[in-house]
Amino acid sequence: MRRIKKLLGPLAAPTAGGGPTSANPPPARGFLTIGGTTYIDPHGSYPLDHRLDGSATLIVNDTDHYITVVTERDCCDPPRAEARHAAVPGDAPARDLVLAPGERAETWRGDSVRVG
């Protein structure tokens, strides 16, 4: 019995302090709506599909985590017609869009939405 406790001791140590047992963060609680699709308790990244008619995609963050609209394709190429955003002339270049819990936005840009 003493030998088993000695072998299992290192495995039980991370959970003894009540800390997380894995490197993966817990999923967000709530709802993430992208266009017409709603995700429950989202975790990770979700695709951001743009409409063929060129209208903006609505993103609603009803979770308890921040979300980021990732715009990897827009970093080096000139903006495409469907990737334009409403900007004031002389504005700084567009950055990634970050939405706090409870916020909503419409966007023409982005490849995916990342939770956390």
Convert the pLDDT of each residue in 41-61 to its tens digit: 999 999 988 888 889 999 999
**pTM score of the predicted model:** 0.61
Nearest CA to 115 among 21, 31, 20? Answer: 31
Identify whether the C-beta of residue 106 lies closer than 8 Å to the C-beta of residue 35.
no
On whether residue 5 sits in a domain, the answer given is no
Asked whether residue 48 is assigned to any structural domain, the reply reads yes
How far is residue 33's CA from residue 113's CA, in Å, rounded to a whole number? 10
Number of domains in the chain: 1
What pLDDT is recorded for position 42?
93
- Predicted pLDDT at 46: 94
CATH code of the domain containing 44: 2.60.20
Distances (CA, A) of 115 to 37, 53, 55, 63: 15, 27, 23, 9
Determine the average pLDDT of the residues in 23-30: 77
